Each structure stands twice: as structure tokens, then as C-alpha cells.
Chain A
Amino acid sequence: MSIVVRLEEQRLDPEQELGELLRQASGDGAVVSFVGVARPTSKAGKPIEDLVLDHHSTLTRKSLEDIAVGAAERFDVNHVHVVHRCGTVAVGQPIVFAGAAGGHRRAAFDCADYLMDRLKTEAVFWKREVGAGGSEWIEPTDADYADRDRWG
């Protein structure tokens, strides 16, 4: 079992992360990855220039570790890989990479899904969309909490 968790202040390269996961998963039959990307428009349809992720000096990293370890313990996978940006993320740039690898696809799909549902509601970040008209803090929606709660 390997668990990779990183908090990146400058850059997240999904291809590099997937390559690393594939190398670690050389004996596995299934590798699943998800990449979250900064959207160009807000829910209200306003254009966004940047997404800013405020974070905590210790709790943020710990929350990522707790989520990754929880996923590794819950599913029949051999590798869990989570990399998350903090700071300013330009529109179109990756925010998060969540990956899982194991013997078979179902557990790997479920693991990546679970990682994202918990990251959306429990990872210690505060997100702010910045556009020409100012900025707006983004908090989880009821649907985000419902997605997380379906895992029990």
C-alpha cells in the first residue's frame, strides 16, 4: 500500500501525477484518476479570472492525509494519490488530482469517487472566485454534503 498526499502552492501537473501513480501501480489491473479544474464562470454565470484557495498552516495537510488514509482503509486498493493546489489558481488550471489503483476497477472507481466527495466537504480550504466585479466565497452546497453522506 502506498499513499501519496501533497499540497502544492505553485503548480499541479496531472500528467506527471498520473505517471507517478501508473509507475507505482505496475502490478495492478486498474488505475482511476480525477482532475478538478478551475471553471471559467461562476454558478451565476459571471466570468471568473482566478480561484483563490485560502488554507491553514497545519490543518489543511492533516485533512488531506485523513481523507487519503480513510479511502485506503475503506477500499480494496493498493495506491491512493491526492495532490491539491492552494493559493491562486488561474481559470483552466488544475485544482486537485485524486487517484486510486488496485487489482480491479470497481474499488478504484469507488475510491476516487469517495476521495472527491470528502475533499469537497472536509478538506480544509476556503475558496474564493475572483472576477472583474469582485470576489465571492464558495462553500459546499447541500448536494455536496449529500454526496459525502451517501458513503455513511
Chain B
Amino acid sequence: MKVLFYGRLSDLIGRELDVNAPAGCSVGQLRSRLAAEHPQAEQSLRSNRAKTCVGERLVDDDHALDASDIVEFLPPVSGG
């Protein structure tokens, strides 16, 4: 599946990754795997103000992923 990163996470990991995740993998499992593979990004990935988006909908860590999904990890947002 394609995984996209924004803000601070795009600096720490890169803008985009292709990840081979098992069928039914949850967002939380993907987050843990990414945190283990990119320890420099662990704090940002696990921030309780970060959000995860699949198909342009916000999802929680229990959401089951499909291989065709595009998963987006969004660090805390700030405008103004």
C-alpha cells in the first residue's frame, strides 16, 4: 500500500513509501511498524494529536487496511 507523510513526518521519513503490509493490517499496526523502522519519527507518529487518513477520511487505529489503500499520516496541523 502507498503511505504518504506530511509536515515534520515528510522530513523524517520522506513524502511517500510503498509498504507491503499483510491483509487486514490495522492502522495501529502499520503505525507501530513505521515507528520501529523509522525511530527518528516515532514521537511524531505516536503523537496523540496526529491524525491518520484513508481515502480522505479520518480513521482510528482499529481501522483495517486494504492493500489498495492510500494511508496518510498527518502530524498536528496549524494554520493562521
**B76 on interface, CB distance cutoff 8 Å:** yes
Docked complex: A125-139 residues within 8 A CB-CB of B: 125-128, 137-139
The DSSP consensus for interface residues of chain B is: loop
- Alpha-carbon distance A144/B79, docked complex (angstroms): 11
Are A121 and B7 in touch, CB under 8 angstroms?
no
Check A126 against B75 for contact (C-beta < 8 Å). Answer: yes
Which residues of chain B are within 8 angstroms of A88 by Cβ–Cβ distance?
none
Q: Is B18 an interface residue when CB atoms closer than 8 A count as contact?
A: no
> B11, B49, B74: which contacts A124 (Cβ < 8 A)?
B74
A122 in contact (CB, < 8 A)? yes
Flag whether B77 is at the interface (Cβ < 8 A): yes
Bound complex: CA A56 to CA B76 (Å)? 13
Task: Verify A123–B80 contact, CB threshold 8 A.
Answer: yes
What bracket does the count of chain A residues touching chain B fall in?
20 to 34
Q: Are the CB atoms of A121 and B78 closer together than 8 Å?
A: yes
Query: Is B78 a contact of A125 with CB atoms below 8 Å?
Result: yes
CB distance from B43 to the nearest CB of A (A): 12
Tell me which residues across on chain A come within 8 A of B76, comparing CB atoms.
139-140
Residue contact A59 to B56, C-beta cutoff 8 Å: yes
Interface check A96, CB cutoff 8 A: yes
A9 contact set on B, CB distance < 8 A: none
Which residues on A are within 8 Å of B, measured CB to CB? 36, 53-54, 56, 58-59, 63-64, 84, 95-96, 116, 119-128, 137-140, 144
> Which B residues are within 8 Å of any A CB, using their own CB?
6-8, 10-11, 49, 53, 56, 72, 74-80
